């Protein structure tokens, strides 16, 4: 192969990888060796960077195609990050040697509280000007970035703005939002104590599902928000959030009831409030999921 051909192949490979990244792919399936590799690198833990939000938005390092519940992930070489919550101290699980490696797909930041406000504002301004998805940019009333406490312990991730959110510029303000507020209240929290955002920051016309390409285009912003807020917990509301964040193909019902990891955050997946509006019987499942989450924080939601 001469140099020109080689350069063309290289360009094609880079282009292809970029297509995958923009489509939201964060992991490649790793062929797990039957013999443990002693020199295998430990998963990259969150670094101490406090300056660059851009650094947190680098594309994910591809490793796996299925989300790995926290319990199964390879124990990190570095100590677990300090948890300043009521949560019981987490001990590193002893993973079997054949457990798949999890490489953190993005870099959470340790920003001081005021800096989080500043960085979120900078990112929100960038989102306001975004025209990556031509159709969404030309049909939106405004972008819907996120709302809540930049220092929240819990981040909620939904799907995409609907008509009400598009009008008001805030996530979860329509009927699904009212139900979400009820759930938050039942968990003895206030909406302002949580940070709330979506996979997409623009309303898909007719409330259709976000396309893979749109989710990929918006991933940089979602990752940016998660890196800045750097929550202890993330709740994926519905399968769009769960599938996109965790690069999973599993139905939401199969993803419930376990913790996954994303950066430093523990992630749970549950049904979307819009689904609950159509299927009120599933509210009890969501309540179970909330109890599961809060139990991990040392809070028993069943107690009076």
Point out which residues bind ligand URA (CB under 6 A).
158-162, 165, 171-172, 174, 176-177, 198, 274
- CB closer to ligand URA out of 104 and 244: 244
Least CB distance to ligand URA at residue 271 (A): 12
CB of 165 to ligand URA, least distance (A): 4
CB of 276 to ligand URA, least distance (A): 11
Residue facing ligand URA at closest CB distance: 158
Cα 56 to Cα 49: distance, rounded to the nearest angstrom: 9
Q: Which helix (H) or strand (E) holds 266?
A: strand 265-270
Least Å distance, CB 290 to ligand URA, is 17
**Nearer CB in complex with ligand URA: 165/261:** 165
Cα separation, 217 vs 299, whole angstroms: 37
Contacts of 26 (CB under 8 A, 6+ apart): 59, 60, 61, 62, 105, 247
User: With respect to ligand URA, which residue has the nearer C-beta, 149 or 159?
Assistant: 159
First to last CA, the chain: 73
3-state secondary structure of 146: coil
Work out how close the CB of 235 gets to ligand URA at its nearest, in angstroms, rounded to a whole number: 12
- Of the pair 64, 272, the CB lying nearest ligand URA is at 272
Please, is 10 exposed, middle or buried when counting C-beta atoms within 10 Å of its C-beta (0-12, 13-18, 19+)?
A: exposed
């Amino acid at each position: 192969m001469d140099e020109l051909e080689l350069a063309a192949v290289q360009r094609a490979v880079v282009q292809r990888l970029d297509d995958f990244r923009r489509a939201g792919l964060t992991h490649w399936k790793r062929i797990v060796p039957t013999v443990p590799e002693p020199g295998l690198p430990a998963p990259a833990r969150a670094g101490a960077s406090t300056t660059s939000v851009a650094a947190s938005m680098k594309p994910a390092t591809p490793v796996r195609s299925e989300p790995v519940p926290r319990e199964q992930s390879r124990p990190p070489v570095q100590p677990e990050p300090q948890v300043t919550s009521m949560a019981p101290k987490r001990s590193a699980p002893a993973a079997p040697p054949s457990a798949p490696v999890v490489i953190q797909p993005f870099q959470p930041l340790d920003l001081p509280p005021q800096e989080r406000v500043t960085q979120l504002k900078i990112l929100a301004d960038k989102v306001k000007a975004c025209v990556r998805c031509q159709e969404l940019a030309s049909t939106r009333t405004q972008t819907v970035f996120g709302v809540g406490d930049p220092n929240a312990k819990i981040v909620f991730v939904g799907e995409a703005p609907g008509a009400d959110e598009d009008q008001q510029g805030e996530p979860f303000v329509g009927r699904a939002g009212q139900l979400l507020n009820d759930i938050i209240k039942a968990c003895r929290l206030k909406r302002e104590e949580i940070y709330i955002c979506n996979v997409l920051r623009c309303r898909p016309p007719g409330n259709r599902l976000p396309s893979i390409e749109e989710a990929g285009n918006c991933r940089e912003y979602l990752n940016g928000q998660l890196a800045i807020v750097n929550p202890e917990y993330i709740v994926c509301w519905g399968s769009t959030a769960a599938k996109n964040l965790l690069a999973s193909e599993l139905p939401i019902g199969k993803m419930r009831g376990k913790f996954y990891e994303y950066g430093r955050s523990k992630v749970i997946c549950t049904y979307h409030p819009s689904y609950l509006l159509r299927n009120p019987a599933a509210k009890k499942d969501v309540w179970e999921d909330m109890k599961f989450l809060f139990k991990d924080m040392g809070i028993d939601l069943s107690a009076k």
